[in-house]
Structure 1
């Protein structure tokens, strides 16, 4: 119970800090909105073999992929904030308090999930006039899946940040990690359009399963096997990455 109470305290603190400076939440969706306005229309001819290549189909395919990219991109770069707090002595001061070391990590990760939820809501609302429609039960499942993706990405970023303890090195590591993950997850274009060898490689990328599950939910196919497969895979990834990151964090902040 103490750990849960400590997580709540840390989460509340970082949430209040976010509310005091909400501008960066909106800045985080600037690039996805630009992509939605300028890239998504190009999908209509590219997806002509799928459902006639209508714009509704294009946004139904592109928006869920973009949300996964937002969860991954936003989560993988949160480690810079942790390094800034370590450098400014915030973490050092927290060491003398009875707050759980694991809570210091989980509270931050939950704040990242809330940030993603707000950004995803804005993007979905902006997509409604473009013909996108999602049933509420599918949307709730999509949010649960996005939360798991965000948790895994944030945990990995925090763990790597503590390991490298250098913003310059962290930037290089995250960039080299994020690019192949995003390209092999089919966030921009469906992997069904890729050659066979690339699809086989992408099968080993857990986030490609997440994108497939998100697109099935946005298409209204709740019973599709891709939905439960993506939730199970992302759930397992969240447990593994959070356990690893919490262990690294606890050893570094002892």
Structure 2
């Protein structure tokens, strides 16, 4: 029970800080909305190449939700760097709170912010572009993406504890985020890519997350990508959370 209470305290502290400065949430949401408005018509024009009866908005929207999760969670470590500089982490070290609670509370905040952003983006797509996702599939897809974000945020916090500098953190994350995004098939499905590029993309676990989310949006629960993508996403997230927890334990030992 103490762990849950400590996690809740960290969660509410981080969430209040986020609510006092909501501009970053809106900035994180603005880019995917622009992609939806400006890139959506291009996807609509190539929809016949994706298969008969393909809804382009069910191809693009779940991918853009994942884009929010990727960038929002991967760059979460910048907050940690500022907290290290301000002495917040140092003060938390001397409290009896479990070190894992310091991480889990932050990660839960990142998941909640992502879910809110995802729902806003989906509502925009439903109102402006007549997106009609499967309701159960939508809930499952958002949950799947939140799990992915939990793993990435944990890794970002661990990296921030190691880097302790915005410059170092930015150089590492920028070198990773763009290839991951492009090889995830976020902008265009990797089924349109040449064979050699599809082979490389298959190594990227987040490409399978994207395909699973697209299948869930369609309500295609029997699609093998749903099971493969969900299992792989959960496994990668678990590994990254363990890495993050151990980093916090070492830092605060």
Q: TM-score w.r.t. structure 1 length?
A: 0.95
Q: Matched residue of 1:203: which SS?
A: helix
1:61-111: CA deviation from partner (whole Å, max 9, x where unpaired): 011111111100110001000010000001111111111111111111110
* Pair 1:181-2:176 in alignment: no
In the alignment, structure 1 segments of 5+ residues that lack a partner are none
1:150-185: CA deviation from partner (whole Å, max 9, x where unpaired): 111101111111112211010000000111111111
- In 2: Cα distance, 1:217 partner to 1:228 partner: 10
Aligned length: 252
CA contact (8 A) 1:138 1:220 kept: yes
Partner of 1:79: 77
- In 1: Cα distance, 2:118 partner to 2:16 partner: 20
Q: Matched residue of 1:71: which SS?
A: helix
CA contact (8 A) 2:136 2:219 kept: no
Partner of 2:213: 214
Q: What is the root-mean-square deviation of aligned Cα atoms in Å?
A: 1.4
For residues 37-56 of structure 1, what are the structure 2 equivalents within 5 Å? 37-51=37-51
Partner of 1:102: 100
- In 2: Cα distance, 1:74 partner to 1:15 partner: 15
* Pair 1:223-2:222 in alignment: yes
Shift of 1:53: 7.5
CA contact (8 A) 1:44 1:53 kept: no
- In 2: Cα distance, 1:177 partner to 1:132 partner: 31
1:163-215: CA deviation from partner (whole Å, max 9, x where unpaired): 12211010000000111111111000000000111111111111000000001
- In 2: Cα distance, 1:238 partner to 1:8 partner: 21
- In 2: Cα distance, 1:49 partner to 1:207 partner: 23
- In 1: Cα distance, 2:134 partner to 2:43 partner: 23
Partner of 1:247: 246
Partner of 1:156: 155
For residues 117-128 of structure 1, what are the structure 2 equivalents within 5 Å? 117-128=115-126
In the alignment, structure 2 segments of 5+ residues that lack a partner are none
Partner of 1:7: 7
Q: Matched residue of 2:185: which SS?
A: coil
1:129-157: CA deviation from partner (whole Å, max 9, x where unpaired): 31211122111111210111111110111
CA contact (8 A) 2:184 2:204 kept: yes
1:111 to 109, 112, 115: 109
CA contact (8 A) 1:11 1:108 kept: yes
CA contact (8 A) 2:99 2:249 kept: yes
Shift of 1:52: 5.1
CA contact (8 A) 2:134 2:218 kept: no
- Which region of structure 1 is more displaced relative to structure 2, 23-32 or 88-97? 23-32
Partner of 2:27: 27
